[in-house]
């Protein structure tokens, strides 16, 4: 038990350290000019490095909890590194999907206006485009925070453990209500709430108090990001009960 705790502590420590590295790379990448071919290549290299770091670190957490038998952090890192190419490809696909959803969010005002006009003609009473737009936003929220994560997180866990063969794991947890509830809650804790904490500006007087407030909020947001993801990796990869593995065993 002590060895398992040490292994998990090491995994969490490295995970938090890589998160800090990725955040620093992100801020540095935003400031890199792209006016010349050399700086453009450097910007692309930084983006690729960030994707690989995220894939390796987060894949290691998934591989750690998905491992059979005794869990070891070093073994999880080796397994994740061995499957780094499919993991990075999955990360790129995920980024593309959410980029397309963001583009749809910007474009959705046009179909919302058209649908409101059509409903007005059909129902013989005015339907405001803003009302239709709100329904579009609700559906988009469900797709972003529930449907896509529930479908794809088991795939990431399987890819981290088995490589390209793990792509067949799509839809593994779709029938488990606890997973549909836990996934958006933990994602909100890992992504949305930390951003809200960072951007929230409480009314405090003095530069020192403002600095202390920001450091405290940023620290809580950072810890919440890492802890919520590790818990989500535990639920996604194995969980209690096991969520991504077969629920039946051979009978003697």
What digits encode the pLDDT tens for the residues 130-181? 888 888 888 888 888 888 888 888 888 888 888 888 777 766 665 677 788 8
Contact status, residue 12 vs residue 230, Cβ threshold 8 Å: yes
Which of 103, 137, 169 represents a domain boundary (last residue)? Answer: 169
- Domain span at residue 224 reads 173-245
Residues in the chain: 252
Which of 82, 99, 129 represents a domain boundary (last residue)? Answer: 82
Task: Please indicate, yes or no, whether residues 137 and 184 belong to a single structural domain of this protein.
Answer: no
Which of 169, 197, 226 represents a domain boundary (last residue)? Answer: 169
Per the domain annotation, does 251 fall within a domain? no
Task: Please indicate, yes or no, whether residues 43 and 73 belong to a single structural domain of this protein.
Answer: yes
Per the domain annotation, does 214 fall within a domain? yes
CB neighbour class for 215 (10 Å; exposed up to 12, middle 13-18, buried from 19): exposed
Residue 172: its pLDDT value, please? 62
Sort residue 96 into left (φ over 0), alpha (ψ -120 to 50) or beta.
alpha
Per the domain annotation, does 241 fall within a domain? yes
Residue 4: its pLDDT value, please? 73
Per the domain annotation, does 60 fall within a domain? yes
Per the domain annotation, does 252 fall within a domain? no
Per the domain annotation, does 250 fall within a domain? no
How many structural domains comprise the chain? 3
Q: pTM of the prediction? A: 0.74
Closest listed residue to residue 15, CA positions, set 46, 51, 45, 55: 55
For the chain, where are the alpha helices, taking DSSP H only?
2-30, 37-66, 73-82, 84-107, 109-123, 129-142, 148-162, 177-187, 193-199, 207-237
Considering all CA atoms of the chain, what is the largest pairwise distance in Å, rounded to the nearest integer? 71
pLDDT value at 96 more than 90: yes
pLDDT, mean of residues 17-21: 88
Task: Please indicate, yes or no, whether residues 178 and 153 belong to a single structural domain of this protein.
Answer: no
Per the domain annotation, does 33 fall within a domain? yes
């Amino acid at each position: 038990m002590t060895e398992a705790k040490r292994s998990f502590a090491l995994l969490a420590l490295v995970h938090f350290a890589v998160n800090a590295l990725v955040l620093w790379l992100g801020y540095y990448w935003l400031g890199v000019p792209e006016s010349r071919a050399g700086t453009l290549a450097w910007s692309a290299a930084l983006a690729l490095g960030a994707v690989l770091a995220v894939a390796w670190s987060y894949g290691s957490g998934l591989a750690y909890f998905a491992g059979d038998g005794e869990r070891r952090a070093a073994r999880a890192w080796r397994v994740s590194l061995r499957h780094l190419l499919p993991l990075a490809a999955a990360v790129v696909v995920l980024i593309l999907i959410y980029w397309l959803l963001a583009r749809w969010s910007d474009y959705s005002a046009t179909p919302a206006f058209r649908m409101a006009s059509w409903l007005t003609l059909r129902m013989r009473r005015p339907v405001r485009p803003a009302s239709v737009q709100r329904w579009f936003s609700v559906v988009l929220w469900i797709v972003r925070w529930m449907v896509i994560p529930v479908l794809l997180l088991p795939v990431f866990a399987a890819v981290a453990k088995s490589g390209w063969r793990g792509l067949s794991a799509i839809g593994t947890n779709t029938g488990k209500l606890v997973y549909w509830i836990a996934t958006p809650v933990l994602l909100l804790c890992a992504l949305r709430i930390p951003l809200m904490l960072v951007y929230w500006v409480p009314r405090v007087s003095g530069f020192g108090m403002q600095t202390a407030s920001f450091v405290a909020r940023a620290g809580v947001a950072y810890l919440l990001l890492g802890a919520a993801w590790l818990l989500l990796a535990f639920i996604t990869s194995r969980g209690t009960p096991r969520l991504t593995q077969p629920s039946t065993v051979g009978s003697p």
